[in-house]
Structure 1
Amino acid sequence: MTRGGYTGAGGPSVAVPEVWGKIPPRNKNFTGREELLATLRRNISGQVTVVVPHALQGLGGVGKTQLAIEYAWRFRSEYELVWWIPADQPILVRSSLAAMAPHLGLPSASIMGTEEAAEAVLAALRRGDPYSRWLLIFDNAHEPEDINDVIPRGPGHVLITSRNQRWEGVAETLPVDVFTREESVQFLSKRVPRAISPQDADDLAEALGDLPLALEQAGALQAETGMSASEYLRLLRERTSQLLSEGKPSEYPVSMTAAWALSVNSLNKKMPEAVELLRCCAFFGPEPIPRDVFFRAHPGLGPKLSALLKDRIRLTRAIGELGRYALVRIDLASRTIQVHRLIQALLRDQLSEAERARIRNEVHLLLAQFVPEDPEDTNNWGRYQQLVGHIEPSGVRENQDPAIRDFALNMVRYLYMSGDYASARRLVNQLLDQWAANAGQEDLRILAARRHLGNILRALGEYSAAYEINRAALDAARERGLESHPEVVNLTNSLGADLRARGEFAEALKHDAESLRLHEEVFGRENIATLRAMNSLALDYGLNSDYARSRELHQDVFDLLHSGEQNAGAATVLNAWTGLARAVRLCGDYAEACDLGEDAYYYGIEQLSADHPWTLRTAKDLSIAWRRAGDYEKSLEVAEEMHSRHFRLFGIDHPDTLAAAIALANIQRTVGRLDEAMELAADTARRYSKAYGGDHPFKHGCYGNLALLRRVCGDAQGARETNEKALAGLESKLGRDHHYSLTVATNLASDLAVLGDLENACRLGQGTLRRLRKLLGETHPMTLLCAANLSVSLRAAGEEEQAERLYEETIDAYARTLGLEHPDAVVAQERRYLDADFDPPPI
């Protein structure tokens, strides 16, 4: 971009930002405020500047937003990126930030999820990459706590508009008052050209208290109707007297209320259906309303609104009239309508409770019919996102209509699937609070909402809370005899994931076997819901060391998803693909696992992007497969990248980040970067208790990795003590005949041998080998590793004949499976101890 300079108070230079995001249209009637703009420009550089309306004690209509819009347009040549963020609802802030992602060279929110996209955007802004000269405008932020964590501290500028004086303690504030009288007269002269004298303008400004929004209403009415200033003032006095005699308004300036009422009354005489449309718009949120919401009439709409929506020409004219009377802001480019929040409040206050209930219900019907029914289809996400800002203000949660409740649940599902877990959690909690208060008894939609909440909490890594919610919901449903209801069957599958997260692997297997039977009975074998249940059972078999059965089930799921008869999204396909690749690796077929994993990884990049959670899990698993296959260079490169991405997107304590850290520490140890591996493994092992609980098998497996590093670094006694504790923990949870337990036992035998306790090393090695052969088979890589180590210990103990026989059998098996050039086979041939490590699979 060719950067231009500011050319004076009148306007910008010809240069424009590379990114110009969602900035409202410039107000052609913007007037005055030159001193404020100059002060704002001086103050804003290098700091957060907040525009606060002190004079009106936080009331709206003073022109804060208009000042921010004018600043963006006037000084746009100073920036490479300018972005507008509605901030009155916390639910909108992150999605607005996430929408910036493609403009920064990042994957879109539809690909990587809203939460992850927003975090990636914030990180890019903090770095100043690719743009260092940026401006973010957070419009109408209420509480500092709502957005303080998403204000990027970086090389750019942040501008906030707010009615809350508490921002004074957070940022440098600039108070915005009503117009000066000179500005009021100047504004009216521009708004009503050739139709108002300076004296009339002065009289109007006095009567309207110099409030910009009231002046805009008055100017629009006069410009549209040709009403004289004297007539307007007469009507204004009458209307004001009426309002005061009625004791109104208590919250809004009398001048604003009177000016608004005159405009509405005038339009009502000209086109009453336009006023009906305006009243409808008052029950949306204050954010832009998609015009296509009004594309077709719903059977539940009232006759006036229904008739208008059926007449496209009449509807277009009504919208135009609302714009001409300055009652709405029309953005032709984005095809949206926006009503000032103060005008919305005044319109609502004018109505009886019965009228408010009727119109609010009509808005809910319009919202619900605007979006397709499938919130998991990424093709539908654009429409869902347009409605996020209208769900809470319109009071959707209060509607007891089953169809509207289904729509609300679809909004929760959309937010969850798009990765905006925080917003999904907020919305579903609001729904549950409202619905539970209104319910005579637990209904199935409340059950569905609780299932969604459980899924959201699990995605956030809050495993214990997810389990408690799902367990209680399922128990309540079973008490009512609803085991076979589709919603309850889906909940049954969710609880299986909770059991895995608790480390109850055997219980999860038993539970999910019954869950799959229920799914097949209720949905049929090839339904998507059934395939998800089958995938869960495949995970259970893997966590219980039955890798052959796990592989078989994963293969079934993968084949059915690729049969062409399933309408599955890319994320579902990738999840199944990765599960199959993992099962193949756990069976010991490393080369095939690498091929499958690589294909799946590039599919994920192509279909979902490199930063999508499913793609990240696939890449992490591929790194493990490459390490097992002996391609350490590829494994290390991907492991480092995946750990960095997980840390950036999810934070250090998220279970996926911890799994990526283990994969990285294992390859660091393998290639000899022992100090780095030790530091990372020790830190990760400590964090596992926080993520999963103090007695989870994954925690003990991590400490087994740490013990391995201690021995490799020369502390064999420390390794032994750590391994003994890890083995005891694993045996208490899983028993000795489990892959995780036998892995630690194999390493413990090596510890004993290094410490000179060859008798116990051989005894432990022999028992472990016998168990591994029975569990995994004679030629599984883990079995061969244990056998190779035992041959070394037997030889050191003087059992030459037995050691040699076992050595020859093992090397022959390596030749027939991994090949003698594989790093494990090379170490075995050199008669050195091999190291067995642990990688936690997803739950």
Structure 2
Amino acid sequence: MPGRNINFTGREELLNRLRAGISGQVTAVVPHALQGYGGVGKTQMAVEYAHRFKADYDVVWWIPSDQPSLVRPTLAALAPHLGLPPVGTMGVEEAANAVLDCLRRGEPYSRWLLIFDNADQPEDLRDYVPQGDGHVIITSRNPRWDTVARTVPVEVFTRKESIEFLGKRVSRTISREDADRLADELGDLPLALEQAGALQAETGMTVTEYLRLLKERASQLLAEGKPTEYPVSMTAAWKLSVDSLADKLPEAVELLRCCAFFGPEPIPRDVFTRVPEGIGQPLAGLLKDPIRLSRALGELGRYALARVESKSRTIQVHRLIQALLRDEIAAPVRQRIRDDVHRLLVEAAPLEVTPPTWPRYAELLGHIVPAEVSESQDPKVRDFAVKIVQYLYNSGDYSLGRRVAELFLDRWVADTPEGDPQVLRLRFYFANVLRALGDFGAAFDIDKVGLEQAERVAGSEYEIALRFRNTIGADLRASGDFREARERDLASLDLYERVFGPHNFATLQLVNNLALDYGLNSDYERAKELHGRAYAGFTRISDVDPSTNILNAWNGLARAARLCGDYAEACDSGEDVYAYGVNELTAEHPWTMRAGTDLAIAYRRLGENLEAALEMSLDVHAKFVRLYGLNHPDTLAAAMALSNVQRTMGEVADAYELAADTVRRYPRAYGPEHPYNYGAMGNLAVLLRVRGDVAGARTLNERAVAGLRNVLGEDHHYALTIAANLASDLVELGEVEDACRLGEDTLRRLRRTMGERHPMTLACGANLSVDLEAVGRGDEAAKLYKETMDAYVHTLGLEHRDAIVAAERRHLDFDFDPPPI
């Protein structure tokens, strides 16, 4: 938390009210809001409370809340202090939720205090205020907190407090009478008094002289018709401090003006260690001289114009001072300073957007909107803006990525020619963000327009045109047109290899996508081969950090192994993949969570660790729900995986409830005719039969089979999966002859599509052997049964769950797990 203000004065009644109110909420905590306009001392009162009563708490944690997107990471940073794994292990969302859970339960500490400083809307903190035995303080300028929390209004100082404060701040040079006069002129506003006290302490200026100058400045302000949204006394006091500092160290004022165009959040100190090309004087000269720069920062702190934190290596200027500074600067100068801030942000940003550089982009993110980066037409600044969106996409913060991309696009399109390379790159990442959010139609529309514009500008071999061609494959997969996606990506691969070469990073990304295409078209051996090629290629790349792509290809390889029927290999690889994702990207990165879903499926298929499958499925599903909501495609896939493992473990009621809800939601994500909708119906039909509604299962399976045959064909793995289940429905309904005909057709197609010894083929053969025997075709049944069990010996082994069920002459059920697109 911030250091204690040694000059803190008064507020005893307010502190006592705050203490009494907060203590009265031990069992049912209601957040407290300290409100008032800027400069009245809300934050300082919260700081004083924390320091004064810290002996009553085991944990005190300060959370800057100006921008809601920064609350969660700060809360998550508390994790290791509560005995939880650090953020780098769990990820921000999971760490923040684990922190809230620990605080709620009071483990390991029940005496805790959270302070959310400078919050805006109550809705912004709804998910971050924990229940429990601890206490919460919220400082805010928004009076709406009065409707949701017990409030302690903070006004300006009383005159007694003003005099006492000035007595501390300039104890050797100010009399009580002079302090009274000064407080009267400054309206008892704490921030104005701090400015005045700092100026007099630094310069030795008398109160009479200060008041004379203050009157001149105030009269000047009023005469010029300055805005009245800020207290005139505050503005006049600020002008005196700045003018005095300008006389002493002019470049310090330039630095302060520069800080006024950043956000109110802390500015990393090292933003000012480089001198970008084109930056104006005298700021450029100051930044080139580290000794003068350090002196300037020191003066800003001594004049109370900025908070300079040596421990965190940050600089922070009060939002009111920032606003006053900006108001006093003429428009042309304002634009020059804003351009300088843009150059500093560009210079501070890493060249590559990779996991090791994500923390730096997170530090800069809070200054994007206040600095009006969207207004710049400088190519370097726009390149930086695109990287911000790329960072938000790569790190999995899709919702914020969408808002930032829309902000930039709305401004850029208005003054940029069609086909501008940076607008095209921004559209490319915007489409990726939309697709990641499940807005597939909007992503497809952007990609089609982007490809047309890029090819019109520079032809089909234009780099950004090729990238749009790649993502259109993902759009086609999302629409359910798996064949067209494969054909387009195959055609693109020839173009990529000719333009980029076979081992290029972009080519390998396309190879990995083509592997997805083959998997979605039931050619799992080819998918495994291509995922392996992509994985091997990414591991050899040294000029960029390929960790996200390594994870994607490696998990695809493990998934393909499972779909080929090698469940043990899928488990072994899947464990390595998931551990890699946790270590390199965090446990809540969407690609790590997808790896977790696939690992849970592999555990279930192998059948040796169902408890681990259930635990992983529950964990990943809960994360997807928290991060992306119930209707997101990844949430739905995780729900299907969870329902399947619940059914396998006999938790039929829970499995049915989840599957039924998921089937209702699938059309919202993909549209009514998508193959995944029908696959999910097949899972629900299995549960209907298990629950005794065989007729309902048959009806649903017939609908699913018809839908899958229509969109994918009769030989597709998904259609054959549902057909095999439909045969079991027919047996249960006594229509065994029809079941045999359907089973024979399905087995013939499975052998051709999946192979003679694939687990799906064997399970279908085992079921058919039972049905053939039931209709009196004993010789055929015995022959098929022996062939099937012999094949189990050489594949899964006779101790596998499938082989045991087959040996017991019971029907095996088949289920569907939707892969990522």
Report the number of matched residues.
815
The residue that corresponds to 1:421 in the other structure is 398
Q: Distance in 1 between matches of 2:518 and 2:330?
A: 61
Q: 1:518 to 1:139 in 2, by over 3 A?
A: farther
Shift of 1:117: 4.5
Deviation string 1:19-61 (CA, Å, 9 cap, x unpaired) is: xxxx2222111111111111111223321111111xxxx3x21
Maintained 8 Å contact 2:89/2:583: no
Maintained 8 Å contact 1:114/1:420: no
Deviation string 1:129-182 (CA, Å, 9 cap, x unpaired) is: 444433332222233344434433444332222222222222222211111110
User: Which of 349, 362, 374 lines up with 1:397 in the alignment?
Assistant: 374
The question of 1:308 aligning with 2:308 is answered: no
Q: Distance in 2 between matches of 1:640 and 1:309?
A: 52
Deviation string 1:368-411 (CA, Å, 9 cap, x unpaired) is: 111211122x3222322222221111111111101011111212
Maintained 8 Å contact 1:284/1:393: yes
Q: Which aligned pairs between 1:567-646 and structure 2 lie closer than 5 A?
A: 567-633=544-610, 634-646=612-624
Shift of 1:123: 4.6
SS at match of 1:137: strand
Q: Distance in 2 between matches of 1:691 and 1:499?
A: 14
Q: 1:540 to 1:112 in 2, by over 3 A?
A: farther
Shift of 1:771: 1.1
What amino acid is aligned across from residue 747 of structure 1 in structure 2? N
Comparing 803-812 with 559-568, which one deviates more in the overlay?
559-568
What amino acid is aligned across from residue 811 of structure 1 in structure 2? M
Q: Which aligned pairs between 1:765-780 and structure 2 lie closer than 5 A?
A: 765-780=743-758
SS at match of 1:448: helix
SS at match of 1:168: helix
The residue that corresponds to 2:183 in the other structure is 205
The residue that corresponds to 2:313 in the other structure is 335
Q: Distance in 2 between matches of 1:219 and 1:489?
A: 62
Shift of 1:113: 5.0
The residue that corresponds to 1:39 in the other structure is 17
Q: Distance in 1 between matches of 2:408 and 2:806?
A: 61
What amino acid is aligned across from residue 32 of structure 2 in structure 1? T
Name structure 1 gaps, 5 residues minimum: 1-22
Comparing 727-736 with 670-679, which one deviates more in the overlay?
670-679
SS at match of 2:575: helix
The residue that corresponds to 1:470 in the other structure is 447
Maintained 8 Å contact 2:286/2:293: yes
Maintained 8 Å contact 2:64/2:70: yes
Shift of 1:494: 2.3
Q: Distance in 2 between matches of 1:409 and 1:566?
A: 20
The question of 1:276 aligning with 2:259 is answered: no
The residue that corresponds to 1:375 in the other structure is 353
The residue that corresponds to 2:67 in the other structure is 89
Q: Distance in 2 between matches of 1:107 and 1:552?
A: 37
User: Which of 329, 344, 348 lines up with 2:322 in the alignment?
Assistant: 344
Deviation string 1:513-555 (CA, Å, 9 cap, x unpaired) is: 2333333333322222222211111011001101111011011
Maintained 8 Å contact 1:528/1:566: no
The residue that corresponds to 1:15 in the other structure is none
Deviation string 1:235-286 (CA, Å, 9 cap, x unpaired) is: 1122222222222243221111111111111111111111111111111111
Q: Distance in 2 between matches of 1:195 and 1:67?
A: 26
Comparing 567-576 with 41-50, which one deviates more in the overlay?
567-576
Shift of 1:595: 2.3
SS at match of 1:140: strand
Shift of 1:672: 2.9
The question of 1:800 aligning with 2:778 is answered: yes
Q: Distance in 2 between matches of 1:695 and 1:107?
A: 43
Shift of 1:415: 2.5
The residue that corresponds to 2:664 in the other structure is 686
Deviation string 1:296-336 (CA, Å, 9 cap, x unpaired) is: 21121112111111111111111111111111111111111
Name structure 2 gaps, 5 residues minimum: none
Q: Which aligned pairs between 1:193-342 and structure 2 lie closer than 5 A?
A: 193-342=171-320
SS at match of 1:173: strand
Maintained 8 Å contact 1:115/1:421: no
Q: Distance in 1 between matches of 2:809 and 2:543?
A: 52
Q: 1:572 to 1:156 in 2, by over 3 A?
A: farther
Kindly report the root-mean-square deviation, in angstroms, between the aligned alpha carbons of the 2 structures.
2.2
User: Which of 48, 73, 77 lines up with 2:31 in the alignment?
Assistant: 48
Q: Distance in 1 between matches of 2:639 and 2:88?
A: 26
The question of 1:502 aligning with 2:479 is answered: yes
Q: 1:119 to 1:640 in 2, by over 3 A?
A: closer
SS at match of 1:451: helix
User: Which of 74, 78, 82 lines up with 2:56 in the alignment?
Assistant: 78
User: Which of 514, 517, 533 lines up with 2:494 in the alignment?
Assistant: 517
Shift of 1:647: 4.1
Q: Identity of counterpart residues, as a percentage? A: 60
Maintained 8 Å contact 1:115/1:422: no
Maintained 8 Å contact 1:65/1:139: yes
Q: Distance in 2 between matches of 1:321 and 1:695?
A: 67
Q: Could you state the TM-score of these two structures normalised by the residue count of structure 1?
A: 0.92
Q: Distance in 1 between matches of 2:820 and 2:82?
A: 31
User: Which of 738, 749, 755 lines up with 2:727 in the alignment?
Assistant: 749
Q: 1:461 to 1:43 in 2, by over 3 A?
A: farther
User: Which of 433, 437, 444 lines up with 2:410 in the alignment?
Assistant: 433
Shift of 1:566: 6.5
Q: Distance in 1 between matches of 2:441 and 2:74?
A: 31
Comparing 461-470 with 385-394, which one deviates more in the overlay?
461-470
What amino acid is aligned across from residue 204 of structure 2 in structure 1? G
Q: Could you state the TM-score of these two structures normalised by the residue count of structure 2?
A: 0.95
What amino acid is aligned across from residue 308 of structure 2 in structure 1? I
Q: 1:609 to 1:221 in 2, by over 3 A?
A: closer
Comparing 737-746 with 319-328, which one deviates more in the overlay?
319-328
Q: 1:507 to 1:109 in 2, by over 3 A?
A: farther
Comparing 265-274 with 614-623, which one deviates more in the overlay?
614-623
What amino acid is aligned across from residue 816 of structure 2 in structure 1? F
Shift of 1:354: 0.5
Shift of 1:108: 4.9
The residue that corresponds to 1:553 in the other structure is 530
Deviation string 1:655-687 (CA, Å, 9 cap, x unpaired) is: 323222222322332233323322222222222
Shift of 1:714: 2.7
SS at match of 2:385: helix
What amino acid is aligned across from residue 114 of structure 2 in structure 1? L
The question of 1:460 aligning with 2:437 is answered: yes
Q: 1:114 to 1:638 in 2, by over 3 A?
A: closer
Maintained 8 Å contact 2:94/2:623: no
Comparing 448-457 with 646-655, which one deviates more in the overlay?
646-655
Q: Distance in 2 between matches of 1:679 and 1:688?
A: 15
The residue that corresponds to 2:157 in the other structure is 179
Comparing 630-639 with 69-78, which one deviates more in the overlay?
630-639
Maintained 8 Å contact 2:613/2:645: yes
SS at match of 2:126: helix
Shift of 1:203: 0.6
Maintained 8 Å contact 2:352/2:544: no
Q: Distance in 1 between matches of 2:204 and 2:319?
A: 27
Q: Distance in 1 between matches of 2:818 and 2:589?
A: 20
Q: Distance in 1 between matches of 2:805 and 2:516?
A: 32
Q: Distance in 2 between matches of 1:341 and 1:799?
A: 85
Q: Distance in 2 between matches of 1:828 and 1:95?
A: 51
SS at match of 2:34: strand
SS at match of 2:282: helix
Q: Distance in 1 between matches of 2:83 and 2:406?
A: 34
Maintained 8 Å contact 2:68/2:125: yes
